[in-house]
A and B are shown apart, each in its own frame.
Chain A
Amino acid sequence: MAATPSPALPPPRGSGWRAWLGSPVALLPLVLVAAIVIVLLYASELRNFGGSFWSLNYLFDPLTDSGSFGVGIFAVGTAITAIMALILAGALSLAIAISLTVYLPPIASRPLTILTNLLAGIPSVVYGIWGYVILAPYFGSTLEPTLQNVIGFIPGFGGTRADTAGGTGLLLAVFILTIMVIPLTTAIMRESLRNVPKDLVEAGLALGATQWEVTRRVRFSVARGGLWGALFLGFGRAIGEAVAVAMVIGASVQIPSTFYGGSTTIASFIFYQLDSAFTYPSLLQALVEYALVLLAIAVVVNVVGQRATHSDMIAAATGGI
């Protein structure tokens, strides 16, 4: 699949940075990335960075159009939801990927592979309305009180009935994010496991190992990069999701004492807050800076994920082919 440098073609003009000059069109995605960064940097004027920006203090006073704009609360909310969702999605999509590549016969795994591909196409806002209208009442009245009774002794899962009211909150956000991330992580994990050389697997089986032993000792060690890369790319998707999270997380600027309480994330906050910020220049500026922070984290996570994963696998997984 990868582009193979062909000996039949003339050698590239120049090398190093000059090679870039010779291929202006290949730069267009780079131009777009650069434009995004430049526009956001220009809009933020970098005025609020430093000082209270890297703190948990968020306090905005609309009357004076001023306040302290710490990114801390949003960062914590983002980290909690994304990491919890990723742990769940990672485990579940590993299970699905192994089922599809190892245990299920082709007649079952082919349609199920297509099905998991189809799930990637369901719009995030659809997950959001399902979460808010259908799931939230169920979470608030049934699931969360049950969790309080059964595992309430675990810190974060206790609290009073008032905490679960409404059902929106961290737990529901984690649930929705988990389901949204699974198609992507599953696709990359599946491709990584599928690309494990057949002779290695068959050598293991021929030595008398069971399928699970071969999976654990051979497939995992060969596919390790792709499996980790899937987690990183899934993490990037989870922290960037704005709409569905804004709908189900309860949208309150706080770090709740239990997982049932409302909170917010960087992406969802800058999404639902922007229209009320049009009239407040200082708030608007803070939001742009949050967007920059989010962009920086997303790019770093994405590049790390790409380094771990073979690019063909990302292509095969996310290109739908």
Chain B
Amino acid sequence: MVVGHDEDHSLLNPTGHVRRRLALDRAVRWLLLLAFAAVLFPLLDMVYWISARAVPAFTWGTFTEDQVGLGGGLHAMIIGTLFLIGIATAFAVGIGVLSGMYTAEYAPPAVARSARVIGNVLAGVPAIVIGYFGYYALVLYTHWGFNSLAGGVALGVFMVPFVYRTTDIGFASVPRAQREATLALGARRSQYLVRVALPIALPTMLSGVFLAMAIGLGETAPLVYTAGWSSSTVTGLLQPTSYLTGAIWNFYDFPSTEGSFLTLAFQAAFLLIVISLTVNIAIQVITDRYRRRLRGLFQ
């Protein structure tokens, strides 16, 4: 900056309007950082309070007992959540991966564009509307009553866009040279997809599936009127089941003096936060590692 002449002070010691502009810049920077901190504070508060209410009450029974009367544990809800997520993931992966591969690889550009827009529209459908859909289509019209299958499928519909989108991104991000080289060597498109594109797209797809599972794990609205509720451990596809988010929704307004309902709700919330954070951090790690590998491969 210093050019070598003593009289050139204007850059180092700004005066007048330059000084005002620099001061404004600094003020804006601090204001923005302050706003950032203001957002983080309530979230730390939330994590703190939920841990404070949940952690001291954890025992083995929390994980091994069903909720009975005024006490008991979260066993049935943990199993129920895993069961529902299993059904939902099967549904979402089936539909999401097929249509994602199609959109990235086979669909004509115009179709692919519209398909992506529709995928995002599905992501924007409110969860409770999907819950109503599940209630009418899979609980009422089938005369099955509340059942895990309906819950799992409703949750699966909610999860489809995440799997779809990441599958699409994964396959579309395969370098064009790889594809052209494969096809030029006479490979069929299916061979290209399975042998060349899949290994490259897999980490992205997997992170999408995990993300969808983490988000599905925390959903309540699609489940309340489809999976129903049952205090004992789920016994079959067409039986109702309980689940962790439902424990919070059903127990959150019990007074803390009445049984262990409120404590169970906080413990469920704590488990959900822990699982969600773990899965999301795992996704970040996978993605980071994958990016590094991609850079090594193609640059």
Do these two chains interact? yes
- Interface residues of A, count at CB 8 A: 93
Contact assessment for A36 and B130 in the assembled complex, using a CB-CB cutoff below 8 Å: yes
- A2 touches which of B117, B124, B128, B172 (Cβ 8 Å): B172
Chain B neighbourhood of A95, CB < 8 A: 31-32, 35-36
Q: Which of B57-65, B68-76, B131-139, B233-241 interfaces with chain A?
A: B131-139
Within 8 A of B (CB), among A157-203: 179, 182
Query: What residues of A have a CB within 8 angstroms of the CB of B28 in the complex?
Result: 212
Q: How many A-B residue pairs have CB under 8 A?
A: 305
Segment at the B interface, from A49-57, A60-68, A217-225, A313-321: A313-321
How far is A5 from B24 in the complex, measured between Cα atoms in Å? 47
Contact of B218 among A124, A134, A320 (CB under 8 A): A124
Interface residues of B, dominant DSSP: helix
B199 on the A face (CB < 8 A): no
Complex interface: chain B residues within 8 A of A319 (CB):
162, 165-166, 169, 207-208, 211
List the B residue with the shortest CB-CB distance to A236.
Answer: B124
Asked if B248 and A126 make an inter-chain contact with CB atoms under 8 angstroms apart, the answer reads yes
Which applies to chain A's interface (DSSP): helix, strand, loop or mixed? helix
The stretch among A139-147, A148-156, A254-262, A297-305 that forms the contact with chain B is: A297-305
Chain A residues lying within 8 Å of B131, measured Cβ to Cβ, are 271
Complex formed: what's the CA distance from A125 to B287 in Å?
28
User: Residue-by-residue, is A86-115 near B (CB-CB < 8 Å gives 1, otherwise 0)?
Assistant: 000001100110110001100000001011
Asked whether, in the complex, the Cβ of A32 is within 8 Å of the Cβ of B180, the reply is no
Contact B184 A8 (CB under 8 A): yes
- Looking at the assembled complex, report how far the CB atom of A190 sits from the nearest CB atom of chain B, in whole angstroms: 12
The answer on a CB contact under 8 Å between B128 and A98 is no
- A311 to chain B minimum Cβ distance, whole angstroms, is 6
Of all chain B residues, the one with the shortest Cβ separation from A130 is: B46
* A294 in contact with B162 given A133-B262, A321-B169 (CB within 8 Å): no
A1 within 8 A of B: yes
Find chain B residues with CB under 8 A from A118 CB. Answer: 276-277, 280-281
Among A26, A35, A126, A288, max chain B CB count under 10 A is at A26
With A2-B172, A35-B137 as given contacts, are A114 and B284 in contact (CB-CB < 8 Å)?
yes
Extra inter-chain contacts (14) besides given A98-B32, A123-B269, A315-B168, CB under 8 Å: A23-B115, A26-B102, A118-B276, A122-B276, A123-B219, A130-B49, A179-B42, A210-B24, A243-B220, A267-B128, A294-B126, A295-B125, A320-B211, A321-B169
14 pairs, A vs B, C-beta closer than 8 Å? A3-B172, A9-B183, A12-B111, A33-B121, A95-B31, A125-B248, A125-B249, A274-B135, A287-B132, A294-B128, A303-B121, A306-B117, A311-B117, A319-B208
Q: Which residue numbers of A lie inside 8 Å of B, CB to CB? A: 1-6, 8-9, 12, 15, 19-20, 22-23, 25-30, 32-33, 35-36, 39-40, 42-43, 91-92, 95-96, 98-99, 103-104, 112, 114-115, 117-119, 121-130, 132-134, 179, 182, 210-213, 233, 236, 239-243, 247, 267, 270-271, 274-275, 287-288, 291, 294-295, 298-299, 301-303, 305-306, 311, 314-315, 318-321
